[in-house]
Amino acid sequence: MQPQIILLKEGTEASQGRSQIISNINACQAIVDCVRTTLGPRGMDKLMVEAQGKATISNDGATIMKLLDVVHPAAKTLVDIAKSQDAEVGDGTTSVVILAGEFLKQMKPFVEEGVHSQIIIRGVRKATQLAVQFINEIAVKPKKDDEVELRQLLEKCAATAMGSKLINQQKDFFSRMVVDAVMMLDELLPLNMIGIKKVPGGALEDTLLVAGVAFKKTFSYAGFEMQPKQYTSPKIALLNIELELKAERDNAEIRLENVEEYQKVVDAEWTILYDKLEKLHLSGAKVVLSKLPIGDVATQYFADRDMFCAGRVPEEDLKRTMKACGGSILTTVADLEDSVLGTCEHFEEKQIGGDRFNIFTGCPQAKTCTIIIRGGAEQFMEETERSLHDAIMIVRRAKKNDAVVAGGGAIEMELSKHLRDISRTIAGKEQMLISAIARALEVIPRQLCDNAGFDSTNILNKLRQKHAQGNRWMGVDILNEDVADNMEKCVWEPSLVKINALSAASEATCLILSVDETIKNPKSGEGPAPQGRPGARRPF
């Protein structure tokens, strides 16, 4: 008798083999079913409540995936691809999860029949490569040098991205605003230079785009109301300096002999503060913004000299002001020259809803802008912000890579037809796998129909017929419950979105298919529960 060799710690769970792959595929299906109904213009929203009771209403795939507390290790890969799609392209997060789920679903019969995982993975990779190649071949590239045409392209891409969101009724209004916002940025199109502020109240159409910087009025002291609230072409000083008297009991110890010495210390503090304030006044700056607090003495001092000040400005807003108005953020007032001061054409403090905003417009180097969202409920504005984020990302991508394809399931149907045709020319098992991937791609138009309540079988049959006749841009027409040429209907998406979604979905599929064993390690100290005598009292 050979002694048994145990390599794994007691209590470790290990499951392996074909049944493990199938169990992983089933877990991913459950995740896909959560987001399946949110796809497309007629998609439903999800209401997610966190442990603290905070409710979020959204139909953005990435947001839903982040808020789902996924425990299953294999299903977490779907959460990761949704996050990566959101970070890389911004839109198509639901599509990427649904595609990955459908690829796995189509591969499940092959796994059950005993086809080796590596053969399936090779087939999936080959199909993806062919699909990406084909998208690059057929994508339409509008002329970039024509300003008007480029703008129309960007607006249509933004409108398509918003078509499936909560704000799809106002998509024309918002798509113009998003394109304006992105056009104001510099070459690198940094996302953090578009500030988004939310103000409760008002209608969605009251949403403003400020060609410059706007931020909420900061905490203010007495004397603030006496300061002017409007300037034309003011000089702006941006500081990282505290302009208030500090009680030095925490970090200083001074031994004093008599009252005069104490008075000198107090006078020195006042002198230092007044010295700073005077230098700011003499520099000609009319607006003083600081990241650190500006106290009541300084506020009154500025008010007496017709200057405006705001302390505790968030760092992000201060950086955006610097980007728009020029100048630099100073940590000393020793050398205030015109070169380090910013300027703008117009500054005013304005009431928007229940809040007051400081707004800088007509900035000489306006490489930044602010969108102030209005709306009823808090959740509604948050969802509007998420929708605008998706649209902004799409416009950035479309501006950098200007190739577009038709949305609404058109490109998926064309890819499906293309892969089917190719699969017939391949001998061996890959023929079956590529044709299974071609079948899986039809899930997007099918889901669009299901979510809108259409007869998906009927519409898919029509689409297959049209694509076989060579109408490559035919897709689902949500408005008329029919099929239509989505390129003409201006349902456009950057080809990059589709390429990214396909690549991410196939990577996730290959990853899940390549795992044939899961080993769960027990947490240290968590041995099996102690077994007591029946009826004996256990110590608590």
- Quick: pLDDT tens for 128-182: 999 999 999 999 887 767 778 888 888 888 888 888 787 888 888 889 889 888 8
- Active-site residue, selected from the candidate residues 38, 77, 94, 207: 94
Confidence of residue 206 (pLDDT cuts 50, 70, 90): confident
Confidence of residue 376 (pLDDT cuts 50, 70, 90): confident
Q: Determine the pLDDT at residue 410.
A: 92
Confidence of residue 222 (pLDDT cuts 50, 70, 90): confident
In what side-by-side order are the strands of the sheet with 212-216?
A: 212-216, 355-361, 346-352, 230-232
Positive or negative, the CA dihedral 98, 100, 104, 106 is positive
State the DSSP code for 473: T
In terms of Cα–Cα distance, which of 491, 502, 468, 527 is closest to 95? 502
Q: Which two tokens stand for residue 230?
A: 């409007």
Residue 94 among the catalytic residues: yes
Is the pLDDT confidence value at 459 over 90?
yes
Question: What does pLDDT average to over the chain?
Answer: 85
Burial of 282 (0-12, 13-18, 19+ CB in 10 A): exposed
If you write DSSP's letter for every residue of 372-432 in order, what string do you get? Answer: EEEESSHHHHHHHHHHHHHHHHHHHHHHHS--EEETTTHHHHHHHHHHHHHHTT--SHHHH
Q: Which two tokens stand for residue 241?
A: 């300096």
For residue 200, which phi and psi values (nearest 5 degrees)? -65, 150
β partners of residue 484: 475
- Active-site residue, selected from the candidate residues 317, 390, 402, 477: 390
Q: Which two tokens stand for residue 67?
A: 């808020």
Is the pLDDT confidence value at 530 over 50?
no
Percent of the chain predicted with pLDDT > 90: 24
If you write DSSP's letter for every residue of 258-286 in order, what string do you get? Answer: SHHHHHHHHHHHHHHHHHHHHHHHHTTEE
Q: In 3-state terms, what secondary structure has residue 59?
A: coil
In terms of Cα–Cα distance, which of 348, 59, 385, 387 is closest to 199? 385
Residue 317 among the catalytic residues: no
Confidence of residue 3 (pLDDT cuts 50, 70, 90): low
User: What's the rounded mean pLDDT across residues 85-95?
Assistant: 86
Angstrom distance (rounded) from CA 488 to CA 485? 6
Is the pLDDT confidence value at 73 over 90?
no
Of residues 59 and 539, which shows the higher confidence score? 59
pLDDT digits (tens, 9 = 90+) for 8-40: 666 666 667 788 888 889 989 988 998 999 988
CB 483 within 8 A of CB 475: yes
Percent of the chain predicted with pLDDT > 70: 92
Residues 6+ apart with CB under 8 A from 140: 403, 404, 405, 487
Is the pLDDT confidence value at 538 over 50?
no
In terms of Cα–Cα distance, which of 175, 159, 140 is closest to 405? 140
Angstrom distance (rounded) from CA 191 to CA 395? 11
In terms of Cα–Cα distance, which of 257, 305, 317 is closest to 281? 305
Of residues 354 and 507, which shows the higher confidence score? 507
β partners of residue 16: 517
Angstrom distance (rounded) from CA 100 to CA 74? 12
How do 517-520 and 492-494 pair as beta strands?
A: unpaired
First to last CA, the chain: 43
CB 288 within 8 A of CB 318: no
CB 65 within 8 A of CB 93: yes
- Active-site residue, selected from the candidate residues 77, 93, 384, 509: 93
Alpha-carbon distances, residue 115 vs 129, 130, 428, 449, 509 (angstroms): 21, 22, 12, 33, 15
Q: Which amino acid is at 474?
A: M
Q: Which two tokens stand for residue 459?
A: 């519409």
- Active-site residue, selected from the candidate residues 60, 86, 317, 402: 60
Residues 6+ apart with CB under 8 A from 164: 38, 39, 40, 41, 43, 59, 94
State the DSSP code for 185: S
Is the pLDDT confidence value at 525 over 80?
no
Burial of 229 (0-12, 13-18, 19+ CB in 10 A): middle
Residue 93 among the catalytic residues: yes
Residue 509 among the catalytic residues: no
How do 308-310 and 285-290 pair as beta strands?
A: parallel
Q: What is the pTM of this model?
A: 0.79
Cα angle value 350/353/357 (rounded, 5°): 30
Domains observed in the chain:
13-141+405-520 (1.10.560.10), 212-365 (3.50.7.10)
